[in-house]
Structure 1
Amino acid sequence: MRLSRVLALTLALVMMASVAFAGPSYDRIMKDKKIRIGIMTDSIPGAFFNSKGEWVGFDYDVATELAKRLGVDIERVKVNNKTRIAFIQQGRIDASVANMTHTREREKSIDFSITYFFDGQKILAKTGKYKSLADMKDKKIATMQGTTSEINVKRALKALGVANPDAHVISFQKESECFQALQMGRVAGWSTDATILLGYASKTPGKFELVGEFLSDEPYGIGLPQNDSALRNGVNAALQDMWRDGTYMNIYNKWYGPDTPFAMPMTGSIELWP
């Protein structure tokens, strides 16, 4: 076969694959009766592996309930801060339930559900050593690469008069790496969402505490493929129904209720449509 014909055939196959891939995710999910959901693995208590090696957490339970409400099986896919958006863009997952703040910048890459969780950014430090970010502005602060937390802590340091915030922030790929740096004294504090910090602090009770004011509000949304309104509507309806019938608060109290190591009062309400 001549090279030109081979190239033409290859191009045609690529175009056919692209057309097939471009169809709405919702239609394929309903046809296959399975939704692929990206979930974190070391975000305590959002989604993590417990001492028994079981994958558990708030986001894990929300994702499981979401699939149930859509009437399909769930395929759980491990994601992290770097892959949770990329996997949606690449079609490797249909949704990302991965403690992801809904931002306008991220809206350029993917779509989001309504806010399903309400958090805010704080700083974790050794108990009794610091009272605020101002007390550690000349020290090193840990945060996670490619997150809103990284942007916010640098902005806060700049507001405190730090000439080169980049030099005072060490960014890691995983929450567990940030916590390890804090435990080893490589950093004075670790800044990210308060619920994540509470989760890790609970591993060594009494040794670490949240300090200072909130640096930001962090409204979490479920990441979704762009331009698939049927999937977005289905996810939003499921979240609202979970809230209305009490299932959402049952899951919330399981992980963040007053009798848990991660106790945090509910501070918001899911948007409900008539």
Structure 2
Amino acid sequence: MRKPKYLIAALVLVLAWAQAAVAGPTYDQVMKDKVVRAGIMTDSIPGAFYNDKKEWVGFDVDIAEEIAKRLGVKLERVPVTNKTRIAFVQQGRIDMSVANMTHKRERDKSIDFSITYFFDGQKILSKKGQFKDHKDFVGKKIATMQGTTSELNVKNLLKELGDPDFEKNVISFQKESECFQALRMGRVAGWSTDSTILLGYAAQAPGEFELVGDFFSDEPYGIGLPENDSAWRDAVNFTLQDMWNDGTYKQIYDKWYGPETPYSFPLTRKVEMWP
């Protein structure tokens, strides 16, 4: 039986509206609503976490707040995890993911990214004095976060070092705090992820833990953005560059990673600048 033409037309309009609601120009929507929804982690010290006063703070929090301020809009913080930060961008639940996310080509198939706004690398954290080099972890259990590049990187490292059980020896958890708890309890010999996250957690127990070995990956962080939305991507990129130019980025960086902080991590590269 044929459907009446008006029903077909109505269906087309509904589908078009739904598509526009999800994939419409983000910049226009943000400017219209005067709100930018940012996906931010909650237990990634010192990137984004709850402090002793139950305040949601951190480097990524300050970066997101500054972007919103310069765009003249209000920031709506949306909690995300390693598993949800990309999906929320795809589903239109957030406008940007400021969530210590490494820009990888595989991820770029699903969402777009800003220019690199933070530079890190992967290391291994262990109890002090137990290990001297990466090869000492062969045959040992190492914690990491499920579904992350860290998980893949540490498996590849153990494989290259000749660990026949490299798959089984990488124990994956949902949260950074769970990895740290496993390390403290001795359930794993090490925890591997981006070095600044490791430094953040190690600072909670001064003198008990140390980073072992050199960097074994390059982790350039980008802000996750909706696919094929150049106006919004440009707005975020230009804002990051302006923050670098006027010194605001450095102020935020030093607040969380400066030499006087528990998370001291020298800034060795600069944000990509366009003339």
- TM-score norm. by structure 1 comes to 0.96
Aligned to 2:96: 95
Q: Are residues 1:16 and 2:17 paired?
A: yes
Aligned to 2:116: 115
Cα distance in 1 for partners of 2:163, 2:24 equals 49
Give 4+ residue runs of structure 1 displaced > 4 Å after superposition: 7-12
- The aligned amino acid for 2:93 is R
**Contact 2:23 2:92 survives alignment (8 Å):** no
Cα distance in 2 for partners of 1:21, 1:127 equals 49
Where do 5+ consecutive residues of structure 1 fail to align?
none
Aligned to 1:85: 86
Cα distance in 1 for partners of 2:21, 2:37 equals 18
Cα distance in 1 for partners of 2:24, 2:60 equals 27
- In the TM superposition, what whole-angstrom CA distance separates every residue of 1:98-141 from its partner, at most 9, and x where no partner exists? 00000000000000000000000000000000112211211100
Q: Are residues 1:201 and 2:202 paired?
A: yes
More moved, 177-186 vs 11-20: 11-20
- In the TM superposition, what whole-angstrom CA distance separates every residue of 1:223-260 from its partner, at most 9, and x where no partner exists? 00011100110100000010010000000000000110
Where do 5+ consecutive residues of structure 2 fail to align?
none
1:215 counterpart SS class: coil
- The aligned amino acid for 1:269 is K
TM-align CA RMSD: 1.7
2:237 counterpart SS class: helix
Cα distance in 1 for partners of 2:187, 2:139 equals 13
- The aligned amino acid for 1:120 is G
1:35 counterpart SS class: strand
**Contact 2:139 2:165 survives alignment (8 Å):** no
Q: Are residues 1:71 and 2:69 paired?
A: no
Shift, 1:163, TM fit: 2.1
Q: How does 1:1-274 map to 2 (within 5 A)?
A: 13-274=14-275
- The aligned amino acid for 1:73 is K
Q: Percent identity?
A: 69
Shift, 1:19, TM fit: 3.1
The number of equivalent residue pairs is 273
- TM-score norm. by structure 2 comes to 0.95
Cα distance in 2 for partners of 1:12, 1:72 equals 31
2:106 counterpart SS class: helix
